[in-house]
Each structure stands twice: as structure tokens, then as C-alpha cells.
Structure 1
Amino acid sequence: MNSKTTLFLAALGLLSLGATTAQAQNAPVLQQAEGGTAGADWLSQTASGVQYVTVTPTATINAQNPGTAARVITYSVTFPGAGSYDLYARVRVGSAGANDDSFYYANGFGQKLPADDSNWITVNNLNAVGYPSGSGNVAVEGAGGAGSGVWKWLNLSRFNGGEAPISFTVSAGALTQTFQLGAREDGLDIDKLVFGQTGLFFTTDQLDNNQQGTATPPVTFVPAGPPMAQGKPKFLGGVWSTPQKVFFNKYFNQVTPENAGKWGSVEGTRNQMNWAELDSSYNLARRNGFPFKMHTLIWGAQQPIWIENLSDADQLAEIREWFQAVAQRYPNIDQIEVVNEALNDLPLNGSTGNNGPNTPGSGAGNYYNALGGAGATGWDWVITSFQLARQYFPNAQLLINDYGVITNNTNAQRYLNLVNLLVARNLVDGVGIQGHAFETRGIPAATLAANLTTLASAGKPLYITELDIDGVNSSGQLDDAIQLAEFQRIFPSLWEHPAVRGVTLWGYRPGHWRSTQGAYLGMTDNTERSAFVWLQNYVRTTVLGTRTSAAAAAVRLFPNPAADGRFTLTGTEQMTHLRITDRLGRVVHEQALRGQATVPLQLKLAAGLYAVQLLDAQGGQATSKLLIE
């Protein structure tokens, strides 16, 4: 190659590099929401120094498009250079929450047909996602976890709110483009839009101040892990949902889906199954070897509306189909909350329990009578539910779950009576006890512990299934000291009770169902509140009792050493749970036991030393070392 050719190619390379660099430095493009040409249904308002647009109240919401030109805003946007841009929006969800949290943006540049679904992308479910302004050094990516009533940013090009999101491509010959927004629900306020270059990371401060993003994500706190209860004889789990999944396996070693496993979430439309989020939570558990608990099969809330008016026979057939579909898709479920809140929320329209009244269309299911209603026992519908669950899930640990059952002895006794009906029929393997802040606040820890003991008298292990503790003061402001004191007061009485085999936190990040009450433990930028720091240290350093009962002392393991992972346990009639851990305390096998005298096992385990733990319902343990050759 001669020198002229070399210089020519080098010059081309510099030109190419210069073009790439210039494109990579395209400034973000700010568009005030009120700066467009608005249809008649849009209003421009100002409050607390913020000018924004909102839509006039209406009872009509088109499913997939604005519907009319009156519900469209049109903008002319000039870009600094060619390239791909993500669309960011600063929005505020109104007081109606899920009824104030959706709008449309155009599926590409140009004038769109208001009533053509293909021209618009639906953005829904904004009630519990987004990043509040001033939320710290965190990139606006994915869902976030901000709630309603706050100004917050979303990267619409990275958030699927009902339809697949898009980025926007600008060519060098067409830097000025027409862009449109469409109205869906009233009650949603929109302050401004930003087109930021795809591939760059923007914090809320950068978006608020129209500053350029960075090529590398901002540095945020990263927890070191491992899960705080790793190697312990009981788990500390978490609820899984999009806002809660960040660093999940750094903190928790058990998985419960928050809403994804409720029948109304999966089959909101008859015979159209939405498994996506439930798949994600199940797969997370399987990848990490964590126990997975299905929440929930039968409940008096969040059930399909379409089932309410079917005949009893058709309802029962649909319930069977629902059980069978879950069993086939998730063959290795560890635990199932078969019936949720039986004492408080019947699956019956007209019921006036603590969550009622259950009105038609409320999602109560209205299949109470299809399952047998009260019947001779007063709880035939619950018994039928568990009989079906035992049929379709023979290898899972079946749980009942309810709230308000350890706050006083009357509630505990009523719950115990129901549990004992199931125990007498060998239908239940564990007792779920919710622990929300509205239950435990003001209740002495000794009362909680005493009622746990009452429920343990049924002879089944106990699980604290939905624990959260608020963290705001009387003015509604975050208060770490209040949350820390309540955790220190409540948590030890639950965690250290010998019959409690696991605790599940019902969320730990913003996007928590009690975000308004400050019940989250971690912040948007991943930093940890005082109660979370204390909780991790407490769980990791507290030595739990290893009481050996007479039943546990009777357990035998042979042969030991074991070849090819084959060995047998005997004397296990009164043992309820088996867990095997490796030398690092990682769980490699776990299963529920139900009165088997002999448990033969053939496990695919690498050669080495393992700990075999068996537990009975009263907290007694048998622990043996197992050598696999």
C-alpha cells in the first residue's frame, strides 16, 4: 500500500470518527408539554410553579387509541443531529391511582390517525412506576418504583405499559419532525418531554435541567450479598414484581409473586393466559435454588370478572382448568397458598367481610357456592379447594393464608379451628400468617408470639407471608427512626419463634404497595434505610435455636458416604421439611414432607460434604453430615 493510499484511508477514518463523535454528542431535545398544538379536550394548567397539560374528565376511554383529534397534541420537534432517540416524559398520576395512569404516544413521527390502533402505543400502569425528580444518582431506565401524586420521569422507550415501546430514528435530511401525544385516562398530568440519545444514561436531575446524559451508567450503591438468611434453618424471602426485582437475589432466598400469580392477572380474559411475569418469578427461583411459593389459587379478590355469572358447574370446571394450567406450567412449585384470606374475604358477591362488600364486577369470583359454600363444616368451600389442590399438586406444600390472625386470641382461635379442619383431612402442610403494618402496629410483641404458639398447636409449620413495616412520621414524611424502632420491636418475635420456618417481606423498594406509608427499605438509588441495615445484620448474626426433639433424634440417614447421590432417610414420620446445603450454606435441595416414614433420595450432587437438615412442626431439628462420593 503506497503512502497516498494510507493518508487517504486515514483521513476517511478521521472523518468517520468525527461523524460518530458528533452523533454521540447530540444534545437532548426538550419539549414543554403545553408547547404543542392541543386538541379541544386538553387543558393547560399551572400549579406550584409547574405548567402542564391534562385532559378534561370523560367517561369514554378508547381501548387502543385517542379516538378523536380533540384528544391529540401535536408538536414540531427540531433535532440537533441524526441518530436514535429515546422518549422520556415527566408525568404525575392523580389521586385515582390506577384510573389516572395512562396515555398514548405516536408510533413514530408524522401526523397520525386518531382512531387507528396501529398509529399509537398505549402507556398504561404508570401508577407504581417511574423515578421521582430529585431521586438521586440513578438512571431513568426500566420501570422504577415511584407512586402517584409526585412528578416523576419515565423512559417510555424502555417501559412496556401495554404495548412494545419504540425509539425514534432521525435522519440527517429531516431534522424537524412532527410528534404527537394522545389522551386516554383523565387525571394524568404531563409536564414535559425529552428526546435523549439512545444508549446514553440520564438521571432525573439531568432530565429536569435538560443536561446531556453519560455513556456509562451513574454509580449507584450495589449490595454485596449473599442473601441475608443464606445458611439459616429458615428463609427470609421477598415478593417479586417489576419494581421489587432489583438485586433480589442479593437479599432474599425465597420468591413469592406479588400480583402475577393471582387468577385475575393470569386469565383476565377467558382462555387468554398471561404467564409472562409469573414465568419470570418462577424462573428466578429455579435459577438460584430458592423455594418458590405460588400466591394464590383461590381468593375473594383479583379474580376474573368473566367467571362471576357462570353456572356452579361451569365455575367448578374453570377452577379445575386453572389449577391444571398452573400445575402443568410450573411442575416444581415448592409451596402454594391455596386459599387466601378465607376469614376476611369470601369469593362471593354480596359478602360483607372485612374487605367487602363484594359487589358484582369487583373481582370477588363469586364461585363460593360452586366449591360447596359453607356446607356441613361451615368451611366446605375451603376444604374442596384444598382437595383439588392436593389432586393437582401432589408434591407441593399446601398453605392457607390470612391476616389479622395473631393480633388477638379470638382471631387466632378462629383461624386455628379452620386449620384443624384441614389437618384432620391431611390437606394442609403449613399455615400462612400475614404481617402487614396495619395489623401489627400497637400490638405487643408478646401477644404476637403467644398467638403464633396457639397456631403452632395444629402441628404444622408457620410462615410469615406478607411482612411490611411503615416508615413515615405523623406528617407523612419518611422517618428512618420510626421504621427502625418498629422493626426492632416486631421482627425478632416472628423470626425467632421456633414454629416459624420462613418470613417473606411484601416488598422492599419504592413501588411497594405501601409506598405512601414509607414501608420500603431500599431507596430508588439502591441505598439502604436504617431498618434495612439493621435487619441484614440481625438476620446474619442471630443464632437460631437448634433444639433437637425426640422425633428429630429418631431420624437415621444411610448409607453414608453415599454413592451417586443415593441415600435414604428413616424415622421421618413427624418431620415436615427437608433441606440440604453445601459447604457454603447454599441450598441444593429442599422439599416438604408429609408423614413419610421413609424418604428415599437420588440427587445429582457433586462429590463433597453436605448438611442434611430435617425439621418438625415445633421447631425441632435433626442435622446430619452427608458425604457424597
Structure 2
Amino acid sequence: MKSTSTLFLGVLGLLSLGATSHAQAQNAPVSQQAEAGTLGADWLSQTASGVQYVTITPTATINAQNPGTAARVITYSVTFPGPGTYDLYVRMRVNAGGANDDSFYYASGFGSKSPTNDNDWITCNNLFNVGYSSGSLPVDQGGPAGTGVWKWVNMSKYSYSETPVSFTVAAGALTQTFQLGAREDGFDIDKLVFGQTGLYFTPAQLDAGQQGTTTPPVTFTPTGPPMAQGKPKYLGGVWSPAQKLFFNRYFNQVTPENAGKWGSVEGTRNQMNWAELDSTYALAQRQGIPFKMHTLIWGQQQPVWIETLSNADQLAEINEWFQAVAQRYPNIAQIEVVNEALNDLPLNGSTGNNGPNTPGSGAGNYYNALGGAGTTGWDWVITSFTLARQYFPNAQLLINDYGVITSSSNTQRYLSLINLLTARNLVDGVGIQGHAFETRGIPAATLAANLTTLAAAGKPLYITELDIDGVDASSNLDDAIQLAEYQRIFPTLWTHPGVKGITLWGYRPGHWRTAQGAYLANADNTERAAFVWLQNYVRTTVLRAKNGQETTVRLFPNPTADGRFSLSGTQNSTQLRIVDRLGRAVHQQALRQQPVVDLQLRLAAGLYVVQLTGQDGSLITSKLLVE
């Protein structure tokens, strides 16, 4: 039998252990003003609107995965209230440059780090479209805050290109050295907070240095399956840190948002950052869904270092870029080879819709290395596709641009470029962006007609970057406005027979048009009205399968030498239209259940597309060669 004193001491020991465990479980958050550290020479402390913060001096040199010099490092001495594991929260502001102003580094552990050792630093990029500026939701993953506002991000849960880390403090080492590193300018930091891992902190609690709670947020969990599962065309999404959550529950095609742009991969020459692109590709392989590479050639977000190389060296680097992508990702389904050729040349001094492109802006400035305008006016695009066909023989090569179905003149200009590529067997599909600023106010009938014109090139169409805003005239979130616009636009795109897939350019807060309310799911995962409608529409709408009429319609003779030919099997067609390679209608007529249509047309020698509209609205196309 144990003595009473022994039993008392045992109970006291258990009580002491319990008190210690409780204290460790409730370690107070540790706040650190950003300017309180030892600032490297490239950091500045500034004050505006009552907030004192640090920012980096502008520089044209951005290392890919480390600060590069001690001048770009801030060092802090942080004393913790007790041992335990802590998450790092940072109050930051991304300025007007958006994706060009939104990255920094934090040390991968405590202690003084080498400014040139990649392993010592966690790269944090794409911060322009995540974070929490206010509200009752805890600062967890993602978040709806955009640019130009002070916002909190849990860096220990934010994954861009590297696995994030939490920080463990031992009982005998409560004071630790911690470091931050500069990457892009235009990025401001106000405050750091180390909050205990496993607790949840609202922006207000972090602002005040108050303890978080153990209660996780109540969030909605979607169940899937993907909206377009089993459909003859895909409905995909864009992949980025802000858009990853529940991706597989909604989408069956994936496109990297920024990770596949050359400037993201090779910001420093010969230092390749594949991590986030690897993540996108791995998802596609794991889920068995198409991976579309975005993008090889563009007039934005290109490596700054390539701008000043000779034409020969630039072309060599472009070949290396293509080859590196091809070797790393052998199962690419689709590639947007050239992005926005009509709007943004890879040329310094270009004054297109996204210009002017100034030195250091990331335009690439390799336009002339690819052949410039040349004899076709588009030699640089033709060269790009020629290289892509060489390095990616099994991928579907796409061209991609915006504003191309909003007017017939834009459509015709785009079609002329597509036809140049088609004549050389260099393009396999046509990408058509669908941002809200393009489609707003454009009649759905105009969009449909211009899609049909582009389909005359005989290539499948893809809506590559669809988003629809959801705010009123005062920029207040408005579900009804977004729902009405989705109902007006989406069916026209989804049911068009030439369109073989649609990709939403984001669906969660952190969307590049977060300020315009273009996201479809809220920060707590609940679905806005437009998203509920969209899922039901896609899942229940029966798309036209390849019907028997397509195999029974015959065109004879083909080629024709005198413009005389016949169409048979046309009894279910209501309209006949013949267009030339520029998409211009050269003949059209109504059909009235005629099984045979005999034609004798005065057509110049060349290639034409014969289009038959079925009673169900389907479109059947055939090529006609006139000799």
C-alpha cells in the first residue's frame, strides 16, 4: 500500500505537468515590427498613413531562389514565451505592379543564413492575390485580399514553389535569430507574428497581438465529381496556390496560372524553378486529366536577363527553354505556344494594348531573334510554332489571344494569323480568352457568330481564360449580377460545336480579379449563386454527340475544277454557308429538307470551308478544294 505522502506528491506532480502542458498549449503570439530588425542596406523604413513599414529599393536584379546579397536581408532577434511550434504570419502590402511586386523570402529555419544558398530560404511568390485584410475568418490558406491593401498571410501554410515551414522553439533556446530576404520591389512588410501552430488567428487578433482559438473555421466541403466528367469537352481550371483547394472536385483539365511563364521558371539565367509547374503537371498525371502548358512565348513575364543578349544568343536560349520544358514534361496534352501575339509583341518599344514595353519590363525583347515581321508579317510567330513542332511532336499546339471574338474585324485579323499557321501544319487548336472585360456588353449572338468564323479554319476552339465579374457599379459584391452574366454568356460558349473545352481563370478568392468579384467560391468554400447554377448547367446539359448526319453528308467532286459540285445527305440541314480562308462568306443559302444540293459557283482557285447548320443547331464542316 502506497503512503499518503507519496500519493499526494504524485497528484501534485500530475497537476504540475498538466499546468505546464496547458501553458505550452497557450503560448502567447510574438509580434515583431518589421522595421525593428537589423535592415540590410537595400531595405528602407518608411511611414505612410500612420503605418511604419519596410520596403526594398528598386532593382533590375531578382534572384530566383535566394536574396543574393547580405544587403537584401533583415535580421531579427525574437524571444518566445515558451517552447513549442509556431507559424509565421506576415502583414504585407503588394503595390500596383501586382504579380511584379509580390514576392520575398523567409529563412527556412532559425539562425543566420547564407544570402546565396537556396536551401536556406523559402521562396514566396504570387502573393498579390491572397491574404486576409479583415473579417471574422481566420488567416489560414488563400484568402480574398488583393493588391494595394494591408493584409495578413500565414506563410507557414502558403505554398508557392517550395514547401512552407513552421518554427520549433526548444525549452533552452527561447531567443532565436530569424531572417527575411528581399526579392521584388514594390512589396511592403509592416509586421511579423509567430502564432502557435494549431491555433487560428483572425486579422484583428494578429493586429492586436491577441491569442488565437483552437476552434477551426466552419467551412463548406464540396463533394464532386468534376462538373464536366463524362462530357465530350472539358471544363478546366487554373492552378496556383490560391486556386488549389478542392480543385479535383470541380475541374477535369488544368493550366498553370503563372508557374509556366518563362520569367517564373528562369528569372535568373540557368537557375530553373520548376516546383510549382511540377505540382501542376503531377496533378494532371495523377488525375488523368489534360495538362495545358501556359505559355512558351509572350510579351510579358519573360526573363529580364534575355532582353540585352544578341539575336543569336536569344534564339539559342529560346531553344534551350523549349527543350527543357519538353524533357521535363513528356506528356503535355496542349501548349499555348504564343500568347497574345495580336496584343503584345516580345519587343521593347512595342506599344500594343499592354504596352509600351520598356527595358526591364519583362517583354523579352526577342521579337527580332525569332524573325520579326518578316515576309508574312508574322514570321516570329511562325518560327515559334516551327520550334514547338520540333520539340513537342505529340502535343496539341495552340495559339492564344484576347479580344478576338468581340468584333468581326478582330476575328478576321486573328483568323488570318491562324490560316498562316494552318497552311504550314503548325497549329492544332485556337485559344480564345474570355475575360470579363472582353465579353461585357457584347451580345451573345456576336460571340457565337465570331466563334463560327474562327471554326472555319478547321481547328478546334478552346476558351482558355474565362472569368465573369460579380460586383455592382459601386464595387460591392453582387451575386445576382454575376449569375445573370454567367447565364447570358456561358451557354453560348459551352454549346458551340466548335468549342472543345473551357478553362476558368480561377474560381476562389485570390483570383486575379478578386477586386471585381470574379471568384465563384467564397473564402469559407461556400458557392456563390453563379457557381451553383454553373455546376447544375454543365452536369445536366446534354451536348451533341457526333451524329449520324456527319457521316452521311457527302461533297462530290472534291476537288472541283469548275466550281460545280453537289452535297448529299443534307435533309436535316437548315443553312449552307461557304467561306474562304479569311473567313469571308462567299455563298450562303437556306435549305428546306433537301437531300441533295447542286451548286455551280464562280470561285477562285483555293481552299474553302463548307458549313452546314443542322436542325439542332449543330455545325458540320467540310473542306472544299477548287482547282
Residue 461 in structure 1 maps to residue 460 in structure 2 = yes
8 Å Cα contact 1:30-1:192 kept in structure 2:
no
8 Å Cα contact 1:293-1:333 kept in structure 2:
yes
Q: 1:376 to 1:180 in 2, by over 3 A?
A: closer
Residue 27 in structure 1 maps to residue 55 in structure 2 = no
Q: Deviations over 1:218-275 (max 9, x none)?
A: 3311111111111111111111111111111111111111111112222222222211
In structure 1, what is the equivalent of residue 255 of structure 2? Answer: 256
Q: 1:149 to 1:368 in 2, by over 3 A?
A: closer
Bigger mean CA offset, 386-395 vs 432-441: 386-395
Deviation, 1:467, is: 0.8
Q: Deviations over 1:271-309 (max 9, x none)?
A: 222111111111111111111111111222222223233
Deviation, 1:77, is: 4.0
Q: 1:265 to 1:191 in 2, by over 3 A?
A: closer
8 Å Cα contact 1:104-1:120 kept in structure 2:
no
Q: 1:226 to 1:139 in 2, by over 3 A?
A: farther
> Which secondary structure does the structure 2 equivalent of 1:490 belong to?
helix
Q: Deviations over 1:482-508 (max 9, x none)?
A: 212211111111111111111111111
> Which secondary structure does the structure 1 equivalent of 2:547 belong to?
coil
> Which secondary structure does the structure 2 equivalent of 1:412 belong to?
helix
Deviation, 1:427, is: 1.8
> Which secondary structure does the structure 2 equivalent of 1:132 belong to?
coil
Q: 1:236 to 1:67 in 2, by over 3 A?
A: same
2-structure distance, mates of 1:196, 1:207? 9
1-structure distance, mates of 2:314, 2:263? 14
In structure 2, what is the equivalent of residue 488 of structure 1? Answer: 487
> Which secondary structure does the structure 2 equivalent of 1:452 belong to?
helix
Q: Deviations over 1:28-47 (max 9, x none)?
A: 32536389588798768574
Q: 1:203 to 1:222 in 2, by over 3 A?
A: farther
2-structure distance, mates of 1:375, 1:183? 42
2-structure distance, mates of 1:539, 1:439? 22
In structure 1, what is the equivalent of residue 564 of structure 2? Answer: none
2-structure distance, mates of 1:42, 1:320? 40
Q: 1:121 to 1:277 in 2, by over 3 A?
A: closer
In structure 1, what is the equivalent of residue 357 of structure 2? Answer: 358
2-structure distance, mates of 1:283, 1:116? 29
Deviation, 1:409, is: 0.7
Deviation, 1:342, is: 1.5
2-structure distance, mates of 1:357, 1:180? 37
In structure 1, what is the equivalent of residue 543 of structure 2? Answer: 544
In structure 2, what is the equivalent of residue 128 of structure 1? Answer: 128
Bigger mean CA offset, 504-513 vs 266-275: 266-275
Residue 323 in structure 1 maps to residue 322 in structure 2 = yes
Deviation, 1:324, is: 1.7
Residue 412 in structure 1 maps to residue 405 in structure 2 = no
8 Å Cα contact 2:34-2:54 kept in structure 1:
no
8 Å Cα contact 2:431-2:461 kept in structure 1:
yes
Bigger mean CA offset, 347-356 vs 168-177: 168-177
In structure 2, what is the equivalent of residue 478 of structure 1? Answer: 477
1-structure distance, mates of 2:15, 2:551? 77
2-structure distance, mates of 1:524, 1:378? 47
In structure 1, what is the equivalent of residue 589 of structure 2? Answer: none
> Which secondary structure does the structure 2 equivalent of 1:316 belong to?
helix
2-structure distance, mates of 1:470, 1:350? 32
In structure 2, what is the equivalent of residue 90 of structure 1? Answer: 91
Deviation, 1:188, is: 5.2
Q: 1:8 to 1:34 in 2, by over 3 A?
A: same
Q: Deviations over 1:422-452 (max 9, x none)?
A: 2222221111111111111111111000000
> Which secondary structure does the structure 2 equivalent of 1:487 belong to?
helix
Deviation, 1:461, is: 1.0
Q: Deviations over 1:169-212 (max 9, x none)?
A: 44445556677778887765555443222233444455456554
Q: How many residues align?
A: 550
Bigger mean CA offset, 89-98 vs 322-331: 89-98
8 Å Cα contact 2:132-2:153 kept in structure 1:
no
Q: 1:262 to 1:75 in 2, by over 3 A?
A: closer
In structure 2, what is the equivalent of residue 298 of structure 1? Answer: 297
| Equivalent AA in structure 2 for residue 488 of structure 1 | Q
1-structure distance, mates of 2:179, 2:370? 51
Residue 431 in structure 1 maps to residue 430 in structure 2 = yes
How many percent of aligned residue pairs carry the same amino acid?
70
Deviation, 1:68, is: 6.8
Q: 1:183 to 1:75 in 2, by over 3 A?
A: farther
Q: Deviations over 1:570-603 (max 9, x none)?
A: xxxxxxxxxxxxxxxxxxxxxxxxxxxxxxxxxx
8 Å Cα contact 1:37-1:73 kept in structure 2:
yes
> Which secondary structure does the structure 2 equivalent of 1:239 belong to?
strand
1-structure distance, mates of 2:175, 2:312? 62
Bigger mean CA offset, 491-500 vs 157-166: 157-166
> Which secondary structure does the structure 1 equivalent of 2:523 belong to?
coil
8 Å Cα contact 1:105-1:122 kept in structure 2:
yes
Q: 1:119 to 1:414 in 2, by over 3 A?
A: closer
> Which secondary structure does the structure 1 equivalent of 2:128 belong to?
coil
Deviation, 1:59, is: 4.6
8 Å Cα contact 1:72-1:114 kept in structure 2:
no
2-structure distance, mates of 1:223, 1:206? 29
Alignment of 1:30-45 (within 5 A): 30-31=30-31, 33=33, 36=36
2-structure distance, mates of 1:498, 1:160? 39
2-structure distance, mates of 1:552, 1:24? 74
8 Å Cα contact 1:93-1:188 kept in structure 2:
yes
In structure 2, what is the equivalent of residue 224 of structure 1? Answer: 223
| Equivalent AA in structure 2 for residue 273 of structure 1 | M
2-structure distance, mates of 1:200, 1:448? 50
8 Å Cα contact 2:296-2:337 kept in structure 1:
yes
In structure 1, what is the equivalent of residue 18 of structure 2? Answer: 18
8 Å Cα contact 2:35-2:53 kept in structure 1:
no
Q: 1:443 to 1:233 in 2, by over 3 A?
A: same
Q: 1:105 to 1:545 in 2, by over 3 A?
A: closer
Alignment of 1:491-510 (within 5 A): 491-510=490-509
1-structure distance, mates of 2:182, 2:382? 48
> Which secondary structure does the structure 1 equivalent of 2:242 belong to?
coil
| Equivalent AA in structure 2 for residue 459 of structure 1 | G
1-structure distance, mates of 2:78, 2:109? 13
Q: Which runs of 5+ in 1 are unaligned?
A: 555-616, 621-629
Deviation, 1:381, is: 2.1
Q: Deviations over 1:354-405 (max 9, x none)?
A: 2222233322222223323223322222222222222221211111111111
8 Å Cα contact 2:334-2:398 kept in structure 1:
yes
Q: 1:74 to 1:285 in 2, by over 3 A?
A: closer
> Which secondary structure does the structure 2 equivalent of 1:483 belong to?
helix
8 Å Cα contact 2:340-2:400 kept in structure 1:
yes
| Equivalent AA in structure 2 for residue 487 of structure 1 | Y
1-structure distance, mates of 2:68, 2:269? 23
TM-score by length of 1: 0.76
Q: 1:463 to 1:72 in 2, by over 3 A?
A: closer
| Equivalent AA in structure 2 for residue 436 of structure 1 | H
> Which secondary structure does the structure 2 equivalent of 1:128 belong to?
helix
2-structure distance, mates of 1:334, 1:194? 43
In structure 1, what is the equivalent of residue 614 of structure 2? Answer: none
Alignment of 1:442-591 (within 5 A): 442-548=441-547, 550-552=549-551
1-structure distance, mates of 2:78, 2:262? 45
In structure 1, what is the equivalent of residue 595 of structure 2? Answer: none
Q: 1:331 to 1:55 in 2, by over 3 A?
A: closer
1-structure distance, mates of 2:180, 2:338? 43
| Equivalent AA in structure 2 for residue 327 of structure 1 | A
| Equivalent AA in structure 2 for residue 515 of structure 1 | T
1-structure distance, mates of 2:189, 2:327? 44
1-structure distance, mates of 2:296, 2:34? 47
Q: 1:424 to 1:534 in 2, by over 3 A?
A: same
2-structure distance, mates of 1:102, 1:265? 11
In structure 2, what is the equivalent of residue 390 of structure 1? Answer: 389
Alignment of 1:605-624 (within 5 A): 618=619
> Which secondary structure does the structure 2 equivalent of 1:399 belong to?
strand
Q: 1:286 to 1:120 in 2, by over 3 A?
A: closer
8 Å Cα contact 2:401-2:431 kept in structure 1:
yes
